[in-house]
């Protein structure tokens, strides 16, 4: 584990998304699982990219993209649960973790924007 809780949580979430996508075998679900896989792993990828951003604007941009991906991931998780592709317990666990990451991203974006204003 690193010193960055958001980095660690998002990576573990991405692993869970990959495992979930790989476990869904219901025919004709590929279009949904592909979208979930892309959005759910993109959260962590953008947070990781933000660590090597080219300045504060780039850092904020990467975090905002990750935040948008958390919203999209929530949609696909909800749709998969509602259509019976994943069970409610699985959905609730992942949704809770997604919500935690989303709240941390909102706070991080807010702090980064405030710091950007302070250094201008």
Q: Is the pLDDT of residue 1 over 80?
A: no
If you classify domain 5-119 with CATH, what class do you get? Answer: mainly alpha
- Domain boundaries along the sequence of the chain: 5-119
Whether pLDDT at 103 is above 80 = yes
**Given pLDDT bands bounded at 50, 70 and 90, which one contains residue 24?**
very high
- Long-range contacts at 57-61 (CB < 8 A, ≥ 24 apart): 57/116, 59/112, 60/109, 60/112, 60/113, 60/116
> Residue 2: pLDDT above 80?
no
Is the pLDDT confidence value at 96 over 70?
yes
For residue 76, is pLDDT > 80? yes
pLDDT score at 118: 73
Structural contact between residues 72 and 102, judged by C-beta atoms closer than 8 angstroms: no
pLDDT computed for residue 117 by the predictor: 82
- State the pLDDT at residue 120: 58
- For residue range 55-64, what is the model confidence (pLDDT) as tens digits? 999 999 999 9
- Looking at residue 56, its pLDDT comes to 94
| Mean pLDDT confidence for 83-87 | 95
Average pLDDT over residues 30-50: 97
Of 64, 86, 93, 109, nearest in space to 20 by CA: 86
């Amino acid at each position: 584990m690193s010193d960055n809780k958001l980095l660690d949580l998002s990576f573990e979430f991405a692993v869970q998304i990959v495992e979930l996508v790989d476990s869904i075998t219901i025919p004709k679900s590929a279009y949904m699982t592909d979208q979930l896989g892309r959005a759910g792993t993109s959260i962590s990828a953008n947070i990781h990219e933000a660590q090597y951003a080219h300045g504060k604007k780039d850092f904020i941009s990467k975090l905002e993209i990750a935040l948008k991906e958390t919203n999209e991931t929530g949609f696909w998780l909800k749709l998969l649960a509602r259509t019976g592709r994943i069970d409610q317990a699985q959905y609730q666990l992942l949704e809770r973790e997604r919500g935690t990451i989303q709240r941390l991203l909102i706070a991080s974006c807010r702090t980064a924007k405030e710091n950007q204003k302070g250094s201008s």
